[in-house]
Amino acid sequence: MRLDKYLSLSGERSRSEAGKLIRSGAVRVDGQVALRPETQVTEASQVLLAGQPIGDSSKQYYMLHKPAGVLTAARDSRARTVMDLVPENLRKRKVLPVGRLDKDTTGLLLMTNDGELAHFLLSPNRHVWKQYRATVTGLLTEADVQAFADGLQLSDFIAKPARLTILSAGQEESVGLVEVREGKFHQVKRMFAATGHEVTALHRATFGPLNLPQELPEGQYRALTVAEVEALRQSAAVRIREESPHRGEMNDG
Ligand code: URA
């Protein structure tokens, strides 16, 4: 049987989705990456998608380019959620978002049914770095960069040191690249608010080792490659002890 037919019959996806996955390099047959949908497989073949066996119990890993206006939630009685942007079979397999982005935030959202990996990625001890592009009101200055690096005092906690790079600075509006390793509610917006800036647009470009590919349009998703899943596992496994680029050893608490 053709590989694309095998993948679609396994209940995972349509034939054309299966073809896309195969061409993206996410599928291995008997240890080799299979890039051709017409590759022949038999019942004896070992077929892996993103390193995991195909089947009901398989672990699945996706990235979604979240558009603005949808909630990061498993379901909501009124509003559209990210689950409305992925096929029914992913919902059946309990593929869920890892962490959350605000309704008006766009960008990379990891989705998986690997609860253990999700737990580790979100654990405060793992410190997976995430990069956001923020458009803010007012003029960003070196004082803001230093305040982010020092760890901002918010109303209920002190944010861990974060990296801010100013991409453009104007009196009315500025754009900054922020790297944080926490994921508290409205974290980035609250950090900017603490330095007197309101975030008017927020976009997540990276999540740990994952980068949102330019060719993935808003509202679209794709399966992670084997290499991406492996990189995520490694980032979750490591208890990171890193040096701040701004002021030496960070206090990890
Ligand atoms: N920080 C925020 O304030 N909002 C997000 O959606 C993500 C990080």
Which segments of 154-220 does DSSP mark as H helices, in order? 187-194
Measured from the Cβ of residue 92, the count of other Cβ atoms closer than 10 Å reads 11
Task: Report the amino acid identity of residue 135.
Answer: T
**pLDDT tens for each residue of the chain, 253 residues long:** 899 988 887 755 788 888 998 999 999 998 899 999 999 987 567 888 888 887 555 688 999 999 999 999 988 888 999 999 998 878 877 899 999 999 999 999 999 998 888 988 988 777 789 999 999 999 999 999 999 999 999 988 899 999 999 999 999 999 999 999 988 899 999 999 999 999 999 999 999 999 999 999 999 999 898 889 889 988 887 543 443 333 333 333 2
Query: Given CA atoms 219, 167, 129, 158 in this order, what sign does their dihedral have?
Result: negative
The two three-digit tokens of residue 143, written as one number: 């004082």
Ligand 1 pocket, residue 2 CB under 6 Å: no
Q: Are 6 and 13 in contact (CB under 8 A)?
A: no
Ligand 1 pocket, residue 189 CB under 6 Å: yes
Q: Kindly report, residue by residue over 45-70, the tens digit of the pLDDT.
A: 788 888 888 755 568 899 999 999 99
Task: Report the amino acid identity of residue 54.
Answer: I
Catalytic annotation present for 150: no
Q: Are 223 and 60 in contact (CB under 8 A)?
A: yes
The two three-digit tokens of residue 174, written as one number: 């500025």
Take atom 4 of ligand 1 and give the residue whose Cα is closest.
186
State the distance from the centre of ligand 1 to the C-alpha of 194, rounded, in angstroms: 14
Which segments of the chain does DSSP mark as H helices, in order? 3-9, 15-23, 88-92, 115-122, 142-150, 187-194, 226-237
pLDDT at position 231 is 92
Closest atom of ligand 1 to CA, residue 204: 7
Q: Kindly report, residue by residue over 171-204, the tens digit of the pLDDT.
A: 999 999 999 998 889 999 999 999 999 999 999 9
Catalytic residue among 30, 56, 102, 252: 102
Ligand 1 pocket, residue 230 CB under 6 Å: no
